[in-house]
Amino acid sequence: PHNLPFPHIPLSSHIPLSHHNPRLCECFNIDVKRPRIYTGPEEALFGFSVLQHDNAGDKSMLVGAPWDGPSNTRRGDVYKCIVGEERSSNCTKTNLGESTLQNVSRNLKNSHLGMTLSPDSPDGFLACAPLWSQECGTSVFSTGICASVSDELESRETIAPTAQRCATYMDIVIVLDGSNSIYPWYEVQNFLSNILSKFHISPEQMQVGVLQYGEVAVHEWSLRDYQTTQEVVEAAKNISRQEGRETRTAYAIHMGCTEAFSPERGAREGATKVMIVVTDGESHDGEELPDALEECEKRNITRYAIAVLGHYIRRQQDPETFISEIKYIASDPDDKYFFNVTDEAALNDIVDALGDRIFTLEGTLGYNESSFKFEMSQIGFSTHVLDDGILFGMVGAYDWDGGVLKEGAEGRIMPTREAFESEFPQELKNHAAYLGYTVSSVIVGDWRRLYVAGAPRFKHKGKVILFELSDNGDVNIAQALNGEQIGSYYGSEVCGLDVDQDGITDVLLVAAPMYLGPGNKEAGRVYIYSLSGVFVSNGTLKAEDRFQDARFGYALASAPDLNHDGYTDLLVGAPLEDGHNGAIYVYHGQGIHIIHNYKQRIAGSSLSPSLQYFGRSVSARLDLDGDGLLDLAVGAQGSAVLLSSRSIVQINMSLSFQPHSINVIQKTCQRGGRESACLNATACFLALSRSPGTLSSSFDLSVVAMLDERKLTARALFDDSNQRQTQLGVRVHTGQTVCHNLPFHVFDTADYIRPISFSLRFKINDTESGPVLDEGWPTTFKRSIAFFKDCGEDDVCVTDLVLQAHMDISGTRQQPYVIRSPRRRLAVEVQLQNRLENAYNTSLTLHYSRNLHFSSLSIRVRNTHHTPHTHTHTHTHTHTHTHTTHTHTHTLHTNTHTLHNMNLTILFRLLPLLSLPPSLSMSPSLSFSLSPSLSLGGYPVEN
């Protein structure tokens, strides 16, 4: 039940498709428009693991296919996918199993090579087959194995630190009496066939050779000749009796010990040596037996001796001397190594007993001297390459409680189960915690290395431990982190990030990909722990809040610096999102933290609708497409995807005007049949890259220019469009400034105070290979151009406005002017003069009583300077009133230049007294206010 067929978590396939349209991609600088998609055999689980690979410029992606091979073997393999100019290419099988593991074992059935791929140090890579198994008799032990492979895909060594020599790792030589006395021969052949069929013959277990003798001895076959039980059984059927009048047993034993067990005939170092002597009579060279047996003792050859008494019984002879000789040949004690049978036919009666005794021999353990507590360890299920070795997770060790092992140049470190007892109590053993499901390491503040191991089934909630490991196997657990939800598989993935790249780990991420979210969906989440003396909880990362299975956190990988800001970034796989299409999330680092909001979500369906389980594996460590930027490798079901990074640029803009201000007094051109002030704006663009590597030399911008964008009425227009807006395309070159002219013109306007705004807004054309704009970089640039005020070098207008006014009637309260009934109008003459610098937008306000009704206004301008000046004026008319008076206000906006006089005649109609209420039967009154410099009091007018 614990023999896991997949590392991490087997992906289910029964979840229904979602019926809404998710956001496919929030883009920053990972190119999703030009993915390289490599396909392989889906049934082989091609894409289960991915690793970027570079062999002296030969860029490729290595893709694990752990179920590769016929359905009855599933040995697994690794594919190599060349990254070239083409967006896709064929992937070729490397046949790593044959080239790297065949020398260790010919039986690679269901070993699942390629389930784990890791970069090796300093070059090459590790390819692991965690279900590589050893057959020991009728038992199968999945100890696991890894191959260290060079960049040239050549095997450097195989690593199987928990592999053990079986007790059945034996070289067996049968010394068979073929003299005339042994009869019938077919019974001997039956015995041979039966006993050989009991043996587990293979290069990893038993080898059998047969030496037949009489007067002479002959090697029927040697240890190395046959590799399977079927072969030796078939060979046994074809053995003919040698015959001979003598039985030279001592000679045959000596020949067997010295020749049959020689390396030249296939004897293996470390194998248990067993000799089975079968004879039916006393030897004719018995005096030589001591010397022959001494040779066997020197070579540690265990001897079973079988006395066939048929010849003695048929002749009614006493076999006592014969039995004594055979007991002498057998190893001690006799009750274990000596057999006697009544006749040749009875040989078959001892087959089972002989087989059982041979199988109970204590084999030489060889690779390590430990017991079979590591027999299901599944080495290679998780690996972490260190500078001084490799840390392996042993998920199946110690009855599936799990463990870790470090293999290095200084030797092998294998902590005991008891070394972790403080966090994994003995009373919880046999609960299958799966310690070592994932392994990693972190560097903490005092430059200590702590190893990290996850145990996702501990108390069904999961646990992660951080610990030190001494050379003698002692464990010092520095910290333990615990999951919070049953079944979440907390600790199935861990990832340490040195965000600021100073050598100290800043953040430890722990995944719980089966964490149940809303609607009991396997949404998954990733826990963040920040280093502050110890690792302290600092929130979580989650998939988008949608009711769907995602298994967010199924894969985690650090990315050295995707957005070129000097900080390490993070990739998170969510292979069940979007109805199993899958997705990956990109998180950016900043300072010593990971920004909790993802920067880019890349959905598998946005790359290809056929992708399934996209995000089951991720790798981001190399530039494969040759542009100097980091690329992402992502595994899917039957596919592997390479995503390129895009360079990041900053666009600096500037604006200059010629002339530097707007002079509407002196018109310089004619536009639309009107005299206008013409100007030219020069817009300049400088593109700077913040990305490493070789960049595209140029790219295009789309630019929109706008004049007076917030004004309702246009004061200026572009010459080319005769509109306030114009567009242009700009081709920029990295590191170079490019400028464009934008001529425009300004009409007469009453608003000279506020300058005219000029804005530029741009975007980078969405080309497939172009760069992206730096995050947060402004896309709008604004400047203003002021009107020319002709107010001296300081450009500050100092005015002196003088207002004089008189009415065509005169009178005071003491000497009122009496208006007779024919008199119906009142005229007011106003003179306005500016004695200093120009005044703009001057306001003249009239307040008058409600017994006056405004009739008309006329303006006369008198220029006392010899040089002609232009002026503009407008007026607006508003009304206000109070409880006792009704005041009409007329506001005059005018530009009064130096030495200008302005005369205004204002006519009012006098309302009849009878039409007014008694409270308003008063003398008409006027008042003036002048902005900016002067206001005049009222002029009473009486009837």
pLDDT in tens, 423-437: 999 887 768 899 999
Q: Could you tell me whether strands 338-341 and 301-308 are parallel, antiparallel, or unpaired per DSSP bridges? A: parallel
Region 153-171 average pLDDT = 87
Q: Which of 468-472, 490-494, 631-635 has the lowest mean pLDDT?
A: 468-472
pLDDT in tens, 190-202: 999 999 999 999 8
What pLDDT is recorded for position 457?
A: 96
Residues recorded for the chain: 943
> What is d(CA 175, CA 595) in angstroms, rounded to the nearest whole number?
75
Nearest to 840, CA basis, from 898, 895, 900 = 895
Query: CATH 3.40.50.410 residue ranges in the chain?
Result: 170-359
The amino acid that residue 169 corresponds to is: Y
Asked if 25 and 31 touch (Cβ cutoff 8 Å), the reply is no
pLDDT in tens, 440-486: 999 998 899 999 999 999 999 999 999 999 999 999 999 999 999 99
What percentage of the chain has pLDDT greater than the value 70? 86
Region 316-327 average pLDDT = 94
Region 294-304 average pLDDT = 96
Q: Which of 65-69, 528-532, 840-844, 900-904 has the lowest mean pLDDT?
A: 840-844
What pLDDT is recorded for position 363?
A: 39
What percentage of the chain has pLDDT greater than the value 90? 58
> What is d(CA 281, CA 183) in angstroms, rounded to the nearest whole number?
12
Asked if 50 and 61 touch (Cβ cutoff 8 Å), the reply is yes
pLDDT band (50, 70, 90) for residue 12: very low
Q: What's the CATH architecture for 36-163+369-643?
A: 7 Propeller (2.130)
pLDDT in tens, 837-869: 877 777 778 888 777 888 888 888 765 544 444
Whether residue 799 has pLDDT greater than 60: yes
pLDDT band (50, 70, 90) for residue 578: very high
Which has more pLDDT, 344 or 703?
A: 703
Which has more pLDDT, 696 or 161?
A: 161
> What is d(CA 347, CA 343) in angstroms, rounded to the nearest whole number?
7
What pLDDT is recorded for position 19?
A: 31
Bridge partners of 51? 62
Instruction: Give, in words, the CATH class of 170-359.
Output: alpha beta
Query: CATH 2.60.40.1510 residue ranges in the chain?
Result: 801-936
pLDDT in tens, 199-226: 999 888 899 999 999 999 999 999 999 9
What pLDDT is recorded for position 913?
A: 58
Region 549-570 average pLDDT = 95
What pLDDT is recorded for position 24?
A: 42
Q: Which of 47-56, 156-165, 382-391, 644-653 has the lowest mean pLDDT?
A: 156-165
What pLDDT is recorded for position 121?
A: 76
Bridge partners of 454? 438, 464
What pLDDT is recorded for position 879?
A: 57
Torsions phi, psi of 82, nearest 5?
A: -70, 135
What pLDDT is recorded for position 57?
A: 85
pLDDT band (50, 70, 90) for residue 9: very low
> What is d(CA 356, CA 220) in angstroms, rounded to the nearest whole number?
25
Which has more pLDDT, 370 or 478?
A: 478
Average of per-residue pLDDT values in the chain: 86
Say yes or no: domain 801-936 is CATH 1.10.443.10.
Answer: no
Region 248-258 average pLDDT = 97
Asked if 382 and 405 touch (Cβ cutoff 8 Å), the reply is no
pLDDT band (50, 70, 90) for residue 27: low
Burial per residue of 750-789, b for 16 or more beta-carbon CB atoms within 10 angstroms, e otherwise: eebeeebbbbbbbebeeeeebbbbbeeeeeebebebebbb
Contacts of residue 333, defined as CB under 8 A and 6 or more positions apart, other chains included, come to none
Place of tokens 């191959």: 147
pLDDT band (50, 70, 90) for residue 917: low
Whether residue 621 has pLDDT greater than 60: yes
What pLDDT is recorded for position 815?
A: 73
126 CA to centre of own chain: 20
Q: Could you tell me whether strands 206-213 and 170-177 are parallel, antiparallel, or unpaired per DSSP bridges? A: parallel
Tell me the three state secondary structure of residue 352.
helix
Q: Which of 51-55, 181-185, 193-197, 874-878 has the lowest mean pLDDT?
A: 874-878
CATH code for residues 648-785:
2.60.40.1460
Which has more pLDDT, 755 or 106?
A: 755
Asked if 631 and 643 touch (Cβ cutoff 8 Å), the reply is yes
> What is d(CA 326, CA 320) in angstroms, rounded to the nearest whole number?
10
> What is d(CA 657, CA 783) in angstroms, rounded to the nearest whole number?
10
pLDDT in tens, 40-96: 999 999 999 999 999 988 899 999 999 998 888 889 999 999 998 776 677 999 998
> What is d(CA 554, CA 577) in angstroms, rounded to the nearest whole number?
11
Place of tokens 């917030």: 710
pLDDT in tens, 756-775: 999 999 999 977 778 899 98
Query: CATH 2.60.40.1460 residue ranges in the chain?
Result: 648-785
Contacts of residue 284, defined as CB under 8 A and 6 or more positions apart, other chains included, come to 246, 247, 248
What pLDDT is recorded for position 17?
A: 28
What pLDDT is recorded for position 101?
A: 72
Region 674-702 average pLDDT = 87
pLDDT band (50, 70, 90) for residue 11: very low
Whether residue 8 has pLDDT greater than 60: no
| CA 545 vs CA 28, 278, 567, 574: distances in Å | 21, 77, 27, 13
Whether residue 10 has pLDDT greater than 50: no
What pLDDT is recorded for position 149?
A: 93
Region 357-378 average pLDDT = 62
What pLDDT is recorded for position 537?
A: 97
Asked if 557 and 571 touch (Cβ cutoff 8 Å), the reply is yes
Whether residue 276 has pLDDT greater than 80: yes
| CA 600 vs CA 24, 111, 547, 597: distances in Å | 10, 37, 20, 9
What pLDDT is recorded for position 102?
A: 62
What pLDDT is recorded for position 575?
A: 97
Bridge partners of 391? 384, 406
Its sign, for the CA torsion 914, 919, 924, 927, is negative
Whether residue 915 has pLDDT greater than 90: no
Which has more pLDDT, 616 or 353?
A: 616
Whether residue 166 has pLDDT greater than 90: no
Place of tokens 């996702």: 456
Query: CATH 2.130.10.130 residue ranges in the chain?
Result: 36-163+369-643
What pLDDT is recorded for position 364?
A: 35
Which has more pLDDT, 102 or 247?
A: 247
pLDDT band (50, 70, 90) for residue 894: low
